[in-house]
A = this chain, B = another copy of it.
Amino acid sequence: MLAQIHVTFKEGVLDPQGKTVHHALNDLGYDEVLDVHIGKYLEVKLDSVSEEEAEIRVREMCERLLANTVIESFRFKLVSTE
């Protein structure tokens, strides 16, 4: 099983990297770019566990380690790798 996890900054938290990349894209002539947000994308490969269990475990991993919930939120999807 593969957990595809997205970790992004919460609303209201300034994302300096996104801002810089936004500017850089505009400078490069991509005027259509209105906003950029940069987050993390994690792929966690799991040994066969049931989907329900994986759901619980991955949520826990995110809360404990993979995201800092003071500033970040996360979402994830489980995909079968069979």
Contact A41 B41 (CB under 8 A): yes
Known: A25-B44, A25-B65, A44-B25. A57 touches B38 (CB 8 A): no
Whether A36 pairs with B42 at a CB distance below 8 angstroms is yes
| Choice from B21, B31, B40 contacting A41 with Cβ under 8 Å | B40
Interface residues in A32-51 by Cβ distance below 8 A to B read 32-47, 49
Size bracket, chain A contacts: 20 to 34
Chain B residues within an 8 Å CB radius of A46: 32-34
Q: Tell me the complex Cα distance, A21–B43, Å.
A: 11
> A43 CA to B11 CA in the complex, in Å?
13
> CA of A24 to CA of B37 in the docked complex: distance in angstroms?
27
Decide if A6 touches B44 in the complex (CB within 8 Å): no
